[in-house]
Amino acid sequence: MADYRELIEENVKKDRSDLRFLAICLFIFVWLTMFIGANRYFFYYIEVDGPSMENTLFTGDVLCVNKRVRAVRGDVVIIDGEKGNGQCLVKRVIALGGDTLVIEGGYVWLNGDKLEEDYIKEQGVTKVNGSAERKEYKIPAGEVFYMGDNRAVSQDSRSSFGTCGEEQIVGVVPDWAMSGFVKWFTGLRASVSEWVMNLFG
């Protein structure tokens, strides 16, 4: 009788193990399906590489990017690889088509008004090719003038990159994805990757 009970218990444990494995496989399948579908039509994810958006974003931060909205002034956006030698750029929209932008003395004026840029890493360092002399830009229709928040090191519309067309903006990083979500999602991705590696490694 004892041997029979042990056999039943072993079979129950095996069945539970099989069910657990099937549940894990189902969870992974559903998660991947949702991720791929959202990635294709609505959102996608990109990892920050480089210091040009400090102190807003840092290397290794993972961003959720909305592909279905149009960029406005102040938005953090992803620009396709044509401007970045094959690598997508993460920058901030400063001016749009029809705007007049002036950079002088380390600061920025948009259509005659000085911009209050509390998001940049350091105040008073916005220059063009290292010069603080006045530089005026008239943004053509359909074009976007963009800069990184770390103005001292960012390669952007002030450089040979110039402005980009609105169609070159791949997507917009929502405000909620610029706060604690970045750290949370970056940590979640690392944890899931480690879990999958341990599961199948």
Q: Is 67 a catalytic residue?
A: no
Give me the residues paired with residue 164 across strands.
144
Strands (DSSP E) contained in 67-195 are: 76-79, 89-96, 100-104, 107-110, 113-114, 135-138, 143-147, 164-165, 169-173
What is the distance between the alpha carbons of residues 149 and 89, in angstroms, rounded to a whole number? 12
Catalytic choice (13, 14, 17, 52): 52
Catalytic residue among 14, 17, 67, 91: 91
The C-alpha atoms of residue 53 and residue 187 are separated, in whole angstroms, by 20
Here the tokens at position 139 are 């943004």
* 172 Cβ neighbours under 8 A, 6+ residues apart: 65, 66, 69, 70, 71, 75, 76, 77, 78
Residue 159 falls in the annotated catalytic set: no
Displacement of CA 21 from its chain's centroid (Å): 34
Closest CA to 146 of 166, 121, 175: 166
Q: Which residues are catalytic?
A: 52, 91
